[in-house]
Structure formats: C-alpha cells, structure tokens
Amino acid sequence: MTEKATFGAGCFWGVEARFRELDGVEDAAVGYMGGTLDSPTYEQVCRDETGHAEVVEVVFDPERIDYEQLVREFFSLHDPTQVNRQGPDVGDQYRSVIFTHDDRQHQVAERIRNELDESGRFDRPIATAIEPAATFWRAEEYHQQYLARRGGSCAI
C-alpha cells in the first residue's frame, strides 16, 4: 500500500527531483493545487491570478519511509520563512505549503513545523501553511521530471 504526500516549496522542478532521490519514494509528479480555476495551465498559474501553488505529489511506501521524514526533507530543501516567493521566484504560486491528506498527516506536519519554529534553526518565523489537500491538477508533461530530462537546476 502506498500513501500520498503533497508539498509546495517553490519551483516544482527542483522539489520533484529532491523527493525522487529518497528511498521509499515510488513516484512523484508536479502539478498545481489550492487555486480557484479547474485544469489550470502553467501560463495561467505563472500570471499569479489563479491562486494555485506549484506542488509535488509524492507517492511513497510508508513501510520504507515515513511521512515525518518527508516533512523534514520538505523543510530542508527550501527556505520556509520566505512568504510568497522562493529566492528569485516571486509570486504566491511559490508559497511554502503542505497539503495534507488526512488528520494524521496534518498533526505530524504541525508538530514538525512547531518544533522547527521553536528550535531557532531559522532566523525568522516559518511561513509554511498547512492545509487539507484539494484537487491535484497534474502539470503539462514537459514539466514532469524536467531537470532529470534536461539537466541543469533551478535558480535556487
């Protein structure tokens, strides 16, 4: 049995590549979540008008990697104190957000966010939102495994 986890942490190319490297992650796809428009295109999301975040939907085997490890990876692969941006990428599509699929995921995500906030690891407060998952709109195929196919890296 596999489980799903969904994270927004800036440009989804790099986020997908990082999650794919983890043992226990069986699949990952990039897409859009949390906005108002059905079937949004990349251009619509980029214009910052739809309210969607760029997200990665991770499919994992909970017997090989647990949700808590994924959440910890999420917090270390981006700067969760930035609001509606990630480095040079500016706009609410780049916001830091965890979309949870059930109550247990919600509790784990909140516990780790609070723990990190109190730990002093970041100079500023964590801006990450934790919200129930909405419809995952899979992004255009040319965005899937973008870095693996084209090489290079995200600007951050």
Contacts with ligand MHO, residue ranges (CB under 6 A): 11-13, 54, 89, 155
Residue numbers annotated as active site: 11
Nearer to ligand MHO, 18 or 113 (CB): 18
Residue 55: both structure tokens together: 């997200």
Q: What is the spatial distance between Cα 55 and Cα 100, in angstroms, rounded to a whole number? A: 12
Provide the minimum distance between the beta carbon of 3 and ligand MHO in the complex, in angstroms, as a whole number: 25
Helices and strands counted in the chain (H then E):
5, 8
Nearer to ligand MHO, 61 or 89 (CB): 89
Nearer to ligand MHO, 148 or 155 (CB): 155
Instruction: Please name the residue that has the structure tokens 């590549």.
Output: 17
| Closest residue to ligand MHO using C-beta atoms | 11
- What Rg value do the Cα atoms of the chain yield, rounded? 15
Provide the minimum distance between the beta carbon of 66 and ligand MHO in the complex, in angstroms, as a whole number: 28
Provide the minimum distance between the beta carbon of 25 and ligand MHO in the complex, in angstroms, as a whole number: 20
